[in-house]
Structure 1
Amino acid sequence: MQARRIARELALLSMSQLSNRPEKLSAQELEDLLLAAVRALTNEVHDILENAAAELKRGSDRLLNSELQATGVQSSRTMVYDAIELTQSAVNRLGMAMELPEFIQLTNRQEVRAYALEILSVIRDNRDRIDETIAASLVNWQLNRLPRIDRDILRVAVAEMFYIGTPDRVAINEAVELAKRYSGDDGHKFVNGVLRRVSDRAKEVSHKG
């Protein structure tokens, strides 16, 4: 795992716990943010598994108790399919959870924490401008209506592109990888589309200037 890739993930997981206080982030605050983020991820896995188990049981019970009417069977099958999808999501999250020990160990590296702190600090200090940049490239969406994880992935990428000097291609590719891990089924396509429009708009402004 590359240091900056781990730092991006650390920053992303920490953002939901990040306050809007103007003080600079400290190493201890980052430690607290990481702990809260890992706990949130663990709780999410637990909740998804519980929901999948409950949905699967409901669908199974309905199949067993139905009188084989077409509508009843179809409804029961839909419930089972939904449960399978929830279970698959939980399995994916469990796969991520298996990597947590290595992830946590790597976050102790100085270069990882330094870059995560830089990303978080940039986002905190420039939140309004970053959000305006993203909002200008959304099509038929409002920023505040996006899933939180997609919004935060976009913020990390824009912070890197506009304030840290990461090449657009690298920032976009890394954001897409984060979306594949943490967003919904089509989240990575959405993130890719928005960030490419952000990049294209920035190039147009640069050329005009």
Structure 2
Amino acid sequence: MHNNRFLSRELSLISLGLIKDKGDFKLNKVQIDEIYESALDSLINHCRDELDNCELDLENASQKILDSELQEGVDSSFSNVREELKKSLKKIESVMNTLSVTLDFPKLIVSSGQIDIRDDVNQRISFIINNLTIIDSDINQAMDGWRLKRLPRIDRDILRLAYVDINFMNTPIAVACDQAVNLANKYSDTQGRKFINGVLRRLQTVRLK
């Protein structure tokens, strides 16, 4: 269920990024379905890129092992090579941990258990595009002097999704904020993550109306 929730939000975030962010916009169900399919393709392509990068890292690590075996006893560089290998393998481990969840995406989409992921994504997108003015206005009130439009697009959409969770989908505030932080950790930069965290803390103490 946790993976389903994060997958829904991640696909919603990618889908929103495919929609022009210029005030109110209206889309019909067919258009939203097309955007969902494009978002799914983007996510799959991202996974393929990650696999390719992982394969390159493994090849580089293997070559370093071979080189170090050939040079061992000739010089004392093996300890340096070993440290480089540790760094490479740690990176690979991180990528593989991500992919272990990612590789379940097709299964989750086909048999999504307690929620229908496609319908969930479509619902989130519809809530946002049909209520954009009030959503942005309410988030602005929680931004302590800042304006939502000054944030990068990805950060705006993460906050919009959190708002929809809290105000339209009756998601517990702690869960909505946790999921938003997870998206920020994956898609935003350091400054964006800090700012999103600050806004989310204010959302936890004062539920937006």
Task: Give the TM-score range, shorter chain.
Answer: 0.5 to 0.7
Query: Who is 2:45 aligned against?
Result: 43
Q: Contact conserved, 2:57 with 2:92, CA < 8 A, in 1?
A: yes
Unaligned runs of 5+ in 2: none
Unaligned runs of 5+ in 1: none
User: Which of the pair has the greater relative contact order for Cα pairs under 8 Å at 6+ separation?
Assistant: 2
**What fraction of aligned residue pairs are identical, expressed as a percent?**
19
**How big is the shift at 1:130?**
5.7
Task: Give the letter for the 1:99 counterpart.
Answer: L
Q: Distance in 1 between matches of 2:40 and 2:33?
A: 11
SS at match of 1:99: helix
Query: Who is 2:104 aligned against?
Result: 95
TM-superposition CA deviations, 1:164-203 (whole Å, max 9, x none): 4565x7144134246558854xx9x976664122332x47
Alignment of 1:48-59 (within 5 A): 48-59=50-61
**Structure 2 CA distance for partners of 1:129 and 1:15, relative to 1, 3 Å:** same
Choose 50-59 or 80-89, whichever is displaced more. Answer: 80-89
Q: Contact conserved, 1:59 with 1:79, CA < 8 A, in 2?
A: yes
TM-superposition CA deviations, 1:94-130 (whole Å, max 9, x none): 1234312235x93565x8745541233323x357536
Structure with bigger gyration radius = 2
**How big is the shift at 1:32?**
1.2
Query: Who is 1:152 aligned against?
Result: 157
Task: Give the letter for the 1:118 counterpart.
Answer: F
Give me the TM-score of the superposition, normalised by structure 1: 0.66
**Structure 2 CA distance for partners of 1:37 and 1:153, relative to 1, 3 Å:** same
**How big is the shift at 1:60?**
1.7
Alignment of 1:1-209 (within 5 A): 9=9, 11-21=12-22, 22-66=24-68, 67-68=71-72, 69=77, 70-103=79-112, 106=116, 113-114=122-123, 116-123=125-132, 125-126=133-134, 128-129=136-137, 132-133=140-141, 135-136=143-144, 143-144=151-152, 148=154, 151-161=156-166, 164=167, 170-177=172-179, 180=182, 183-184=185-186, 194-200=199-205, 202=206
**How big is the shift at 1:55?**
0.8
TM-superposition CA deviations, 1:54-105 (whole Å, max 9, x none): 11111121122123521122112211221221122222211234312235x9
SS at match of 1:54: helix
Choose 111-120 or 13-22, whichever is displaced more. Answer: 111-120
**How big is the shift at 1:38?**
0.7
Q: Distance in 1 between matches of 2:7 and 2:82?
A: 48
**Structure 2 CA distance for partners of 1:112 and 1:56, relative to 1, 3 Å:** closer
TM-superposition CA deviations, 1:138-179 (whole Å, max 9, x none): 9xxx943x9x3x653322112454xx4565x71441342465
SS at match of 1:155: helix
**Structure 2 CA distance for partners of 1:94 and 1:107, relative to 1, 3 Å:** closer
Q: Distance in 2 between matches of 1:129 and 1:174?
A: 19
Q: Distance in 2 between matches of 1:62 and 1:7?
A: 36
Q: Contact conserved, 1:59 with 1:76, CA < 8 A, in 2?
A: yes
